[in-house]
Structure 1
Amino acid sequence: MTRILITAAGSYGDIAPYTGVGARLRAAGHEVALATHDAYAPLVRAAGLEFRSLPADPRTARPAADQEPGQEEPGQEGPAPRKPPAGGNRALMRQAAAFIHRLGDGLAEAARPDTELLLLSTTTAPLGRQIAEATGIPSLDLPLVPNAPTGDFAPVVSGGRSLGRWGNRTAGRLALRVIDRLYAEATRDLRARLGLPPASPRTVRRRTEAAAPPVLYGFSEVLVPRPADWRPGLEVVGNWWPHLSPDAQLPSVVADFLASGPPPVLIGFGSMASGEGERLSSLAVRALRRAKVRGILQSGWAHLATEREDDDLLTIGEVPHALLHPRMAAVVHHCGAGTAAAGLRAGVPTVPVPVTADQPFWAARLAALGAATAPIPFADLASPDAESRLAEALTRATTDPALRAHAARAADRLAAEDGAGAVVAAVGRLAP
């Protein structure tokens, strides 16, 4: 038995996969705590894990002066805001750095003296390495996205367009240096708090790279084959699915709606598009009616909702993807890493509407696999032809047998993978 601390920060998609990993580790006999934001405490405890609190919940991280009237959930993906604040990229970087700085203090509190192994998400890894150095606790990075430079593709946050092999690798290295800058102040103060000599995030990162520790990536080679130019030890192990209780069931209102007619289309933007619920809801309903398909709007941070419920429309809150997606005719979403994988796991076609960050990357991967329509960038939903474009995509997603066949084949491949099992095996090799 090993006392393990998993650390994860950001939005739901940044945290939920680690509940599945934690539950598998617990089933293997380990004692597991997950440190994250207070809003996800019920999620963590439902998986049978100890919850430890981290500050700087991204839904409340933006200063009140920056919030729109009546907007309580400004939205922010990990350290990056959903909407650029006034002042552009420079203000965005300041805001992200402030989020990270508060996170460092919380991580130091969460890593109690009896911790024997640290498992670090992408957002928490640069700070977690300082804690590992100070305490001597071994650590293992568990990123959800491919963040090591490669010639195969450009950094996932660059929009998904290849720059050629040399350009992709160069952009990948530059992306790491941007991350180093974001973590610079937090790293300086955390190292001082921990009694460590001064060292920049870049210095610590390069020391880590030179040591070539194992890194396990929680996505599938179905979407991203392991780059041939990655060093040994960087392994793509398959998705980590959020913990789901064996007796979990759909809410009765959802089950009744599904039983009342043909499979609907699910439309939701997760933690994206905060404050745009009214416009997006109206657009979604018009496109659904134009495509002549039933629809479920998932509220999310945008607060999507129909003006009135009828036999063809339903508004829902949080419902596990694993229960909902397999019952859909198609899914429309922002293409976060976890949501993109969940739709593929269900074997249903996707209509990608990427917003920012890594989402255009995953949208392009789904389309290249033949399991999705051509992506509709989120900004295009404000264009005059948005309704017709979305309706056409809905029609194709629900009627083209090739899309469903490609999605079904991908689902079969995903079902054969065991990403959480790979983490359990790695922990067995690393644990004291």
Structure 2
Amino acid sequence: MADIVIAAFGSRGDIMPLTDVGCRLQEAGHRVVLTSNIELDGEVRECGLDARGIDAGLDTDLDPSTDDALRIALQLVRPAGMRRLGHNLLDAIGDVPADVLLLTPFAELAGHPLAEARGIPGLGLRLQPLSATRDFPPSLLGAWSGGGMGNRMAGVAAAQTADRVYGATVDAFRTRLGLPRRSARLLRKARTAAEWPILHGVSPSVVPRPADWRSGLDTVGYWWQRTPESWSPPEELTRFLSDGPSPVFVGFGSLVIPDRERERLMAVVRDALAAAGVRGVVQSGGAGLTVTGDGVLTIGPVPHEWLFTRVAAVVHSCGAGTTAAGLRAGVPAVAVPSPGGDQPFWARRLRDLGVSLATLPRPRLASGPLAAAITAAVTDPGYRERAQRIAQCIAREDGAGQVVSAVERLLDGPAAVRR
């Protein structure tokens, strides 16, 4: 038995898939602590895990109903924001025993020095491919391609930029932990030389492992949010699902948008569902959508693994988790990504896999094209057939099991610290 800390921070889509990893580690006999943002602590505990909430220290006095929503998000990724987050993370797990430290991207800046200071092995957990490859640029840079050489150069440049931007932040964590100062570039170079392991919770049938990735970078299969045993679907939702044909799901995840954009989206979704002649289940999400009308139901949080097997298609913003859940259910998709981040990357993957007709960028979304895409998704059997073939591949994978195996190899290795 070992003490394992999963150091993580982010939105629901960043945190909840890690409950699968944490529970599987516990089932293998280990003690697990999972950090999260404070809003998700209760849900993590309902899954049977020890949760430690992290406050990012964001200025919540800004008005999220205006363009200040973008300013709120930018607070986190700036060096000062990452420094606050990292110190709060160290505060939260400073007294937690650990034999292995699992790090998600937001936790890496503080997590690497912590593992070094404690003399314990670490392992990276990512839901998006970020490392340099000829196959595509880092997923957070969007859906474009610069060809093999351009893609790899973009990946190298992104890593170098991160080292420059966050170098002083890493120094602050190393000083706090009593470690000598070293440049972020040299630290990254040392991790690469040591083949520091990073596991990607993505199906190889969706993103094959790039052939030019170094040893230690692996794509192991999806990790799934655990649903508490006590959960049951809302009666209103089960009644709606049984009252007619399978509806189309519409949701935009944790996206926070200004009031005027919310009103516009609600009108677009309402009109598109009506024009396509389909029923709809609209998830309120971070956008706060409320769509009413005949054959439309607005819902709050519901496990996608339960809901998506009961819908005809999913219209979503292409976050990594929602993309995975739709593919797992074997249902067609309509991709509506927001600009920036990894959403355009996943939208392109859905199109290339043949399960989505087209990409409809959220800022330009209109009811006519959305209605046409929904109609194609629910009437052309090719989209569902291709989605179901991918779902069969995903069903044969065991992403969380691969993490357990990797952790136990670390525990058996020369760098392991035995308690």
Same fold per superposition (TM over 0.5) = yes
Shift of 1:246: 4.6
Match of residue 47 from structure 2:
47
Cα distance between partner residues in 1 of 2:409 and 2:195:
16
Cα distance between partner residues in 2 of 1:182 and 1:212:
23
For residues 233-248 of structure 1, the aligned pairs below 5 Å read: 233-246=216-229, 248=231
Letter in 2 for 1:103: L
Cα distance between partner residues in 2 of 1:255 and 1:280:
25
For 1:32-51, what per-residue CA distance to the aligned partner results, in whole angstroms no more than 9, with x for missing partners?
01011110101210111111
Flag the 1:33–1:74 CA change in 2: closer, same or farther, 3 A.
farther
Shift of 1:106: 1.9
Letter in 2 for 1:425: S
Match of residue 127 from structure 1:
110
Letter in 1 for 2:263: E
Cα distance between partner residues in 1 of 2:121 and 2:268:
50
Shift of 1:94: 8.1
Report whether the alignment pairs 1:430 with 2:410.
Answer: yes
Flag the 1:196–1:17 CA change in 2: closer, same or farther, 3 A.
same
Shift of 1:113: 5.3
Flag structure 1 segments of 5+ consecutive residues without an equivalent. Answer: 76-82, 86-90
Contact 1:19-1:43 within 8 A present in 2 as well: no
- Give the length in aligned residue pairs: 408
Cα distance between partner residues in 2 of 1:325 and 1:284:
18
Flag the 1:176–1:410 CA change in 2: closer, same or farther, 3 A.
same
Match of residue 107 from structure 1:
89
Cα distance between partner residues in 1 of 2:68 and 2:393:
37
Cα distance between partner residues in 2 of 1:62 and 1:404:
44
Match of residue 88 from structure 1:
none
Match of residue 224 from structure 1:
207
2:265 pairs, out of 260, 271, 280, with 280
Give the secondary structure class of the aligned counterpart of 2:359.
coil
Letter in 2 for 1:106: N
TM-score by length of 1: 0.90
Cα distance between partner residues in 2 of 1:243 and 1:113:
23
Flag the 1:422–1:367 CA change in 2: closer, same or farther, 3 A.
same
Flag the 1:94–1:22 CA change in 2: closer, same or farther, 3 A.
closer
1:96 pairs, out of 53, 57, 78, with 78
1:320 pairs, out of 295, 303, 315, with 303
Contact 1:126-1:205 within 8 A present in 2 as well: no
Letter in 2 for 1:244: T
Report whether the alignment pairs 1:67 with 2:63.
Answer: yes
Cα distance between partner residues in 2 of 1:155 and 1:303:
30
Flag the 1:94–1:27 CA change in 2: closer, same or farther, 3 A.
closer
For 1:25-84, what per-residue CA distance to the aligned partner results, in whole angstroms no more than 9, with x for missing partners?
111111001011110101210111111121217xxx2453x425x56x965xxxxxxx36
Report whether the alignment pairs 1:250 with 2:233.
Answer: yes
Shift of 1:223: 1.1
Shift of 1:97: 2.3
Tell me the C-alpha RMSD between the 2 structures: 1.9
For residues 27-426 of structure 1, the aligned pairs below 5 Å read: 27-56=27-56, 61-62=58-59, 64=61, 66-68=62-64, 83=70, 92=74, 96-109=78-91, 110-112=93-95, 114-246=97-229, 248-275=231-258, 276-306=261-291, 308=292, 310=294, 312-355=295-338, 356-381=340-365, 386-426=366-406
Flag the 1:92–1:178 CA change in 2: closer, same or farther, 3 A.
farther
Letter in 1 for 2:35: A
Give the secondary structure class of the aligned counterpart of 2:358.
coil
Give the secondary structure class of the aligned counterpart of 1:413.
helix
Cα distance between partner residues in 2 of 1:270 and 1:296:
14
Give the secondary structure class of the aligned counterpart of 2:186.
helix
Cα distance between partner residues in 2 of 1:366 and 1:416:
20
Flag the 1:253–1:113 CA change in 2: closer, same or farther, 3 A.
closer
Flag structure 2 segments of 5+ consecutive residues without an equivalent. Answer: 412-417
